[in-house]
Chains A and B, each alone.
Chain A
């Protein structure tokens, strides 16, 4: 492994005394502060979405504590180790997915979990990190931009877990995982002609996808998106109610805890996937813009980390993780506002739920490991 190591001054100019601890813990202080701000904002909204139930906030707070501990650990771990262990992790993950296929437990017709003695574990979650890590591992030692055989190998690495997850069935996660892998390939410099070719192929396969791959409920979701009024009380209900919630918030919102749509239970899933509707209703467009600004700053910091990464592995992984985070934001906010079909994607770090918080924060830990790679190597 030959890595180009950029020579940087021993001490960054902007390092203040408080950041010394961060450096010692190999944390990226700006990113951490942004994440903490987002977490706080999210908990405030959750308190309202949970109808003033402090218990729900405390429960979610506990997930965050776990998540930030995972982040700390993930950030402290040297990046080279991640790189070395990526393929083994991938192999283990795929085996677990196969295990889910045979021994999995599920809910609502989907088989997604492994039951480990009372503790439920969703292997597809860790694949969200393992797939981009493995694709990055594969490409790190190759000549970049990747050539066709390498591209095909990467697609193979991406497709195997994606298909395993698709059959659970969990279209949302499968697409997210596929995207996170593809982002690695994209950031590695996959040729534009391949990208355009792949896009044409994707469009061409839209009809067979519609006809053979998509399940009835998924087709229904797309149809509902196109015309939510067609099924006001069924599938269209969620979208109509969330649009109503957001729209009725106006510029400045109805005020914290005063959203009628959410507090009168018109809003479905108000504390999980549809929490942005609560935020939009109670804090208005101002609140939405604040959230978008926080997200944008996090994304820019992610890209900055990628640009300053010391190794190919860290670079393309950082780009992919950042883009994946963006996809969460875009899909969730688009879906709740009726721009995209309803796919089970949470609003990152705001929606209630333990697994996604832990996975996301682990990803940010990984990103920080990329950021501190230079110093680790320096040691």
Chain B
């Protein structure tokens, strides 16, 4: 049948075409109505939702990190500044190909493994659309290269942020600490909103202790930005509250003098104003540059610092616990006088050694090795202090007993944190029979009392403790907690309430007189620094035996010998009549106190003579 219809039937064709057109028009109308419904659905029904979403797209809440407070020395010299640094960040949401972008960036700027690792860590903790820093402190050249290639690096942002800078470099690192990038543990501890936009936090020292004060309060702004995260305009803004500036008691000159005087020796110097407890200098050598840590120290540089046998990262001034040696003798003298066991006139026989009753062992005086005899047939308190007579204090210690000794010495801050406003302070050790039972589980032996009586044995003290104790002696018993910060913002920080160590005026006179004789006496152990001294200084030398190094450690002969030498110590205050400075100096393996006393003199000279020059001029 199909075969038969071979002719074109135009009429049928037209009819069919009309039908098809009708169908087509119906389909078109239906489809366009569907489209209309879709747009109606989006624009009328869904209007609120999409309008909100579009607003959210457009408006972003941005954190405005506060400006970190500055740190000044007592004369207004800037110790910790902020300076603009360019940061390269990525907004993950706008980076189409992260690995490709990182590779491309690696060709434009220097990015090492540490940077990448830290970046990936931060990437895990980011909020949506938050720029995640990859590199800090871009050089000008790197910034130029990035600017040229910006178009092919979507999601890559370069912006400037204020970053910590220590203009004095290594001079103040131990005194004020440093900031570093916030690590995971700190991030978990911190209030995240307070630290939005802030990458750094105080790690040690004042920077850490006063973190809250220095940090300030974060601000916010609502900004309109495009899809590339570029800010087009600021809609509203809540300014950040800048961190407060700190003014320190520290004196740059003293700090420099002390650092220079220590030179390449390992040691520490702490100088205090006895009147206020203000710390005038806090030095620990070797030094290192805190700026290294601000932007993330490279692992190579860090291992060099960490593994150095000189342990530069160790803040000897507050962390270093040394046997105080004979520097403890003025305090022992106070104990003896106050306990009524001796008077300034009491004479003690000195054959150059001491023997406990009922014991055959001889406890030797240091002078025996030099002269083969004692300091004198009989020694009084002044001489005992001036010449640092061990026998006198062996006898006193025995009669005093270790526990009463501890009772008398504790108020001077030994054996406990002084409370200085920095971090990592160690308490030292003020031994007692109770302490020994508690920590070592052993009874106290009478022989050990003698060692402690001359600042050896179990006794350990930090330089800051010695300085504070010396200041208390200078003050005739008014103990002040050492304080670094003098002013916060515009307000003066009141000194911590003084602790008064009760003792008879004659007692203080006797101790001061003895310490004066250490420097000014004919046979004073520090008489070499008295030459040309235009003021009266009171001091006490000390020598600490090094028990330190374990046998079998590999050092060359000289090195071992050097590290087995005694530590030299010296504490002093001046002027004797009205003390304005108290100093504690320790020189590790300095051999003896002669390594330490000239340093103390240099510091006190710098303090007192400049003061006179100022008064005169």
Binding site for B on A (CB under 8 A): 2, 4, 143-145, 147, 186-187, 189, 233, 241, 243-251, 260-261, 264-266, 280, 284-285, 288-289, 292, 295-296, 299-300, 303, 306-307, 312, 315-316, 319, 322-323, 326, 329-330, 333-334, 337-339
A133, B34: Cα distance in complex, Å: 30
Select A333's contact among B18, B35, B53, B93, beta carbons within 8 Å.
B35
**CB atoms of B8 and A292 under 8 A apart:** no
- B residues 16-55 near A (Cβ < 8 Å) are 16-18, 20-21, 24-25, 28-29, 31-32, 34-36, 38-40, 42-44, 46-47, 49-51, 53-54
Smallest beta-carbon distance A285→chain B, Å: 4
Counting residue pairs across A and B whose Cβ atoms lie within 8 Å, the total is 143
Residue from A189, A248, A303, A330 in contact with B16 in the complex, judged by beta carbons closer than 8 Å: A189
CA distance A181 to B232 in the complex (A): 49
User: A260-B54, A285-B43 are known contacts. Are A187 and B20 too (CB-CB below 8 A)?
Assistant: yes
Contacts of B500 on A, CB cut-off 8 Å?
Answer: none
- B31-A288 in contact (CB<8A): no
B226 adjacent to chain A (CB < 8 Å): yes
Do the beta carbons of A326 and B17 come within 8 Å of each other?
Answer: no
Q: Closest CB of chain B to A329's CB: distance in Å? A: 8
Please, could you name 28 A-B residue pairs with CB atoms under 8 Å apart, sorted by A? A143-B5, A143-B7, A144-B8, A144-B12, A187-B20, A241-B227, A243-B50, A247-B46, A247-B53, A251-B44, A264-B58, A264-B226, A264-B227, A265-B227, A266-B58, A289-B36, A296-B28, A296-B32, A300-B25, A303-B21, A319-B21, A322-B24, A326-B28, A330-B35, A333-B38, A334-B38, A337-B42, A339-B34
B-chain residues with CB within 8 Å of residue A326 when the two chains form the complex:
28, 31
Beta-carbon contact of B43 and A288 below 8 Å:
yes
A347: shortest Cβ distance to chain B, in Å?
Answer: 12
CB pair B31 A264 closer than 8 Å: no
Q: Point out which of A245, A248, A260 has the most chain B C-beta atoms below 10 A from its C-beta.
A: A248
B20 contacts which of A189, A261, A266 (Cβ < 8 Å)?
A189
Contact-residue size bin, chain B (C-beta under 8 Å from the other chain) = 35 or more
Q: What is the bound-complex CA distance between A309 and B325, given in angstroms?
A: 119
Would you call B227 and A266 a contact (CB within 8 A)? yes
Asked if A330 contacts B51 (CB within 8 A), the reply is no
Contact A147 B2 (CB under 8 A): yes
- When C-beta atoms are compared, the residue in chain B nearest to A288 turns out to be B39
A285 CA to B46 CA in the complex, in Å?
12
B225 contacts across to A, CB distance below 8 A: 264
**Chain A residues in 8 Å Cβ range of B54:** 244-245, 247-248, 260-261
| B93 surroundings in chain A (CB, below 8 A) | 233
A248, B59: Cα distance in complex, Å: 14
Across the two chains, which residue of chain B brings its CB closest to A322? B24
Q: Does B224 contact A (CB under 8 A)?
A: yes
In the assembly, what is the distance between CA of A337 and CA of B35, in Å? 9
Q: Are A187 and B36 in contact (CB under 8 A)?
A: no
C-alpha spacing A264/B6, complex, angstroms:
64
Does B43 lie within 8 Å of A247, measured CB to CB? yes
CA distance A265 to B29 in the complex (A): 34
Contacts A264-B225, A265-B227 given; does A250 touch B47 at CB 8 Å: yes
The answer for the CA separation of A280 and B50 in the assembled complex, in Å, is 12
Closest 8 CB pairs of A and B: A247-B50, A248-B54, A189-B16, A264-B226, A247-B42, A265-B226, A265-B227, A285-B43
Whether B20 and A319, one on each chain, are in contact in the complex, defined by CB atoms closer than 8 angstroms, is yes
Q: Which residues of B contact A243 (CB under 8 A)?
A: 42, 50
Instruction: Report the nearest B residue to A247, measured CB to CB.
Output: B50
Task: A145-B16, A245-B54 are known; give 17 further A-B pairs, CB within 8 A.
Answer: A2-B8, A143-B6, A143-B9, A144-B8, A189-B13, A241-B57, A248-B47, A251-B44, A261-B54, A264-B225, A265-B228, A280-B42, A295-B32, A296-B32, A306-B17, A319-B20, A330-B31
B308 within 8 Å of A by Cβ? no
Instruction: State in angstroms the CA–CA spacing of A289 and B38 once bound together.
Output: 12
Q: Which residues of chain B come closer than 8 Å to A323, judged between CB atoms?
A: 24, 28
Q: Which among B14, B17, B51, B226 is the interface contact of A248 at CB below 8 angstroms?
A: B51
In the complex, what distance in Å separates the CA atom of A295 from the CA atom of B35? 12
Give the docked Cα–Cα distance between A300 and B21 (Å): 10
